[in-house]
Amino acid sequence: MGMLTYSQRLDTGVAQTQLLVSGLADADLSVPVPATPDWTLNQLLRHLGYAHRWIEQLVRERIPTADRSLSKAHSVSEYAGETAAQLGPWLTEGADLLAASMREVSPDEPIAVLFPDEPGPQFWARRLAHETWVHRFDVFEALGLPFEVDPVVAADGLWEWMNVGLRVVFLRRPEFAELLGQGGTLVFEATDVDAKWLVDLTGDKPVARQDEGSGAVTVRGPAADLVLTLYRRLGPEALEVSGDEALLKEFLGRARF
């Protein structure tokens, strides 16, 4: 499901890591990251690299669940003073190891499971492909570098947000539930690839439907900009918005992934 295959998502994770590393040359890793202001570039790079290595270990060792006690991805505050020359090869190696281990298993093998209704390899191939390019945006923004990503890759990221991100928001953000049952509907439509989603907030849980109808507010723009807006990297002013702008503002304010 989605726009990319399992293998293409693994390729994407490797390619996006390589692109990220190519932008680091002689960068000052002590600069803060606008999207994650509590972290420097040094710490963000460690976060991403450790995320790759965590899932690689889970898959390689056939660990049944996504055991968070094995992850160092959110324990990065101590990292400072490292250089791009040190971290670049480490990041590249981690992404390569992850892809290699993931290719050794079936996408449907019941290992590294986070949600019980989806096999871990399938879930993490998709999650880390998009985690990597979104964090590449974070790095390039911090360094003032131009950023672009393949619209098909971005559309796959939009598919993930609608099918996984919305579910996570509903489960983890109590404030999001206040939007439900009030008749709110939002459409997110990509202008550079065939991808359109209706988010329906009229019931007791949010529902995303592909290629359906109109909403109280419609948001249009390149697929990457839609994804980056949903992840609160860009503001809606970067997009074409028509209809109930107040609903969109409330939705984006409460839908923190």
Same domain for 202 and 112, yes or no, is: no
Spatial contact of 19 and 148, defined as CB atoms under 8 Å apart: no
* DSSP 3-state of 207: strand
Highest average pLDDT, of 115-119, 137-141, 207-211, comes from 137-141
* Boundary residue ending a domain (147, 181, 197): 147
Distance separating alpha carbons of residues 230 and 253, to the nearest angstrom? 10
Give the relative orientation of helices 120-143 and 223-230 as an angle to the nearest 10 degrees: 90
- For residue 68, pLDDT beyond 70: yes
What DSSP element (H or E) covers 220?
strand 217-221
Spatial contact of 48 and 165, defined as CB atoms under 8 Å apart: no
Q: State residue 2's pLDDT score.
A: 73
- For residue 212, pLDDT beyond 90: no
* DSSP 3-state of 189: strand
- For residue 183, pLDDT beyond 90: no
- For residue 137, pLDDT beyond 60: yes
pLDDT bucket at 1, cuts 50 / 70 / 90: low
Beta strands 185-190 and 217-221 are parallel
pTM: 0.96
Window from 13-22, 63-72, 146-155, 175-184 with minimum mean pLDDT = 175-184
With b meaning 16 or more CB within 10 Å and e meaning fewer, what string describes 25-60? eebebeeebebeeebbbbbbbbbbbbbbbbbbbbbb
pLDDT per residue over 22-50, tens digit each? 999 989 999 999 999 999 999 999 999 99
Same domain for 220 and 104, yes or no, is: no
Q: State residue 114's pLDDT score.
A: 95
Domain-embedded: residue 107:
yes
Host domain of residue 240: 168-254
Strands (E), 18-88: 32-33, 36-40
Domain-embedded: residue 155:
no
Same domain for 141 and 178, yes or no, is: no
Distance separating alpha carbons of residues 141 and 37, to the nearest angstrom? 12
Domain-embedded: residue 163:
no
Range 154-179 average pLDDT: 93
- Joined tokens for residue 144: 């003032």
pLDDT bucket at 120, cuts 50 / 70 / 90: very high
CATH number of the CATH domain containing 221: 3.30.1050.10
Domain-embedded: residue 153:
no
Same domain for 85 and 131, yes or no, is: yes
Number of domains in the chain: 2
pLDDT per residue over 227-237, tens digit each? 999 999 999 99
Q: State residue 178's pLDDT score.
A: 87
- Top-confidence residue, 71 or 178: 71
Q: State residue 144's pLDDT score.
A: 97
Question: 218 has which bridge partners?
Answer: 187, 242
With b meaning 16 or more CB within 10 Å and e meaning fewer, what string describes 116-155? eebbbbbbbbbbbbbbbbbbbbbbbbbbeeebebbbbbbb
CA 97 to mean position of chain CA atoms: 20
Q: What percent of the chain has pLDDT over 90?
A: 91
Helix (H), strand (E) counts: the chain: 8, 7
Q: State residue 182's pLDDT score.
A: 79
* Boundary residue ending a domain (81, 116, 147): 147
Q: State residue 177's pLDDT score.
A: 86
Distance separating alpha carbons of residues 73 and 21, to the nearest angstrom? 18
Spatial contact of 219 and 189, defined as CB atoms under 8 Å apart: yes
Please identify which residue in the block is written with the tokens 């507010």: 217
- For the chain, the average pLDDT equals 95
